[in-house]
Amino acid sequence: MNQKNLYKIDKDISIARTLDSSFYNDENIFKTLVTDIFSSTWQYGLHLNQIRNKNIYPINFLPETLSESITFTREDDTINCISNVCTHRGHIICDSPKKGNALKCRYHGRVFNLDGKMKNAIGFEGAKNFPSVNDNLNHINYKNWNNFLFFSLNKTYQNLSVLSDIDRRLPDFPFEKLYFSEQLSNSFEINTHWAMYCENYLEGFHVPFVHKGLAKEIDNKSYNTEILKNSVLQYANKQDSEKDLYAHYYWIFPNLMLNFYNWGLSINVVEPISINKTRVNFFTFPIDGIDFIEDQIKDLIQVELEDQQVVESVCRGVKSRFYSSGRYSPRHEKGVHYFHQLLSKILLKNISK
């Protein structure tokens, strides 16, 4: 079969087939898409309060694949997102969060201001045309939304209009009262393809079958999915309630999940490690003043472990010679269908090169 046909997703969900299984098993596709997608989309960085006391905060973005080292810095009320790679010989400048008024490379002592401008370079007396702008640290695009900092490695980044949608739907959500809880946050490594984890998140179809505890908390008949620009929103009412929503689940292409609850916000960031291994980071932001959320976090972890079992099973299953692709449930899998359309667009563009 023509390779383009394998990855072409029909816009009509009632006749469309899912991505061909080769998508999940082809190393070249995995590497190409990770580079193309993750280097040109908005990614979650950190919460503003995380650079309040320690004003220099390095991030190693996708260490096993892209391995791009960046740093957020804060000087008074000025925030910068800059490269964490020394412009002299490429040494990583900062290894861990710290407090300081400058960035100093410990290899040859080059010093940079917190805005990335080179301040001092020992031993470069006599160097012509030095320093130049090329000796400063590169600036990286970042966005501050309700004290959450996002970054994009590429200036041709995607639209983030979904954040305005959140502000519109949740006008009373107390962002100013959120705080980062390292104790209640977590990280998991899962034996699955990163896209499979996202697919599972993008549908509530499996909830009654996989999540017996969660199914008792939500009214699955009220489960709704809305397609937004480069994002998907899912929500459902609490059990035995026609007005109270259990949660708002926002997915932002390709790997970001913002989960709004009555106790606060949980952010999931999906990181590809290899074709069959994925890291999922859970960042927990409770609302200050709300007590006894440990039980709710425990319930979330239980749901996560149940999800891990099914996505690991799917990762094994799509290697079968007897499986190539499936169909979408028009009612329940609109989010998965939209995700596949976004992936298909990028896949077909690469095949045409």
Q: What is the pLDDT of residues 335-353, one digit of tens each?
A: 999 999 999 999 998 887 6
Model confidence pLDDT, tens digit, residues 9-20? 999 999 999 999
- Give me the mean pLDDT over the 195-206 stretch: 98
Number of domains in the chain: 2
Are both 200 and 83 inside the same structural domain?
A: no
Dihedral angle computed from the Cα positions of residues 70, 37, 160 and 336, in that order, rounded to the nearest 10 degrees: -130
Q: What is the pLDDT, as a whole number, of residue 353?
A: 65
Structural domain of 66: 42-157
- Give me the mean pLDDT over the 93-98 stretch: 98
Decide if pLDDT at 242 tops 60. yes
Residue 156 confidence class, pLDDT cut points 50, 70, 90: low
Q: What is the pLDDT, as a whole number, of residue 184?
A: 95
CA 116 to chain CA centroid, Å, is 25
Are both 273 and 347 inside the same structural domain?
A: yes
Strand (E) positions, the chain? 43-47, 56-61, 68-75, 78-83, 103-104, 111-112, 118-120, 141-145, 148-152, 181-190, 224-228, 231-237, 245-252, 256-261, 264-274, 277-286
Decide if pLDDT at 157 tops 80. no
* Domain final residue pick, 90, 125, 157: 157
CATH number of the CATH domain containing 221: 3.90.380.10
Residue 1 confidence class, pLDDT cut points 50, 70, 90: low
Are both 131 and 256 inside the same structural domain?
A: no
Model confidence pLDDT, tens digit, residues 253-290? 999 999 999 999 999 999 999 999 999 999 999 999 99
Contact 270, 194 (CB under 8 A): yes
Instruction: Identify the residue with better confidence: 238 or 156.
Output: 238
Are both 194 and 293 inside the same structural domain?
A: yes
Are both 13 and 121 inside the same structural domain?
A: no
CB atoms near residue 85 (< 10 Å)? 18
Q: What is the pLDDT, as a whole number, of residue 289?
A: 92
- Give me the mean pLDDT over the 170-195 stretch: 97
Residue 234 confidence class, pLDDT cut points 50, 70, 90: very high
Task: Dig out the tokens for 41 from the structure.
Answer: 């989309």
Are both 328 and 221 inside the same structural domain?
A: yes
Are both 198 and 241 inside the same structural domain?
A: yes
Dist. CA 207–CA 191, nearest whole Å: 21
Q: Say whether 100 sits in a helix, a strand or coil.
A: coil
Are both 37 and 47 inside the same structural domain?
A: no
* Domain final residue pick, 125, 157, 189: 157
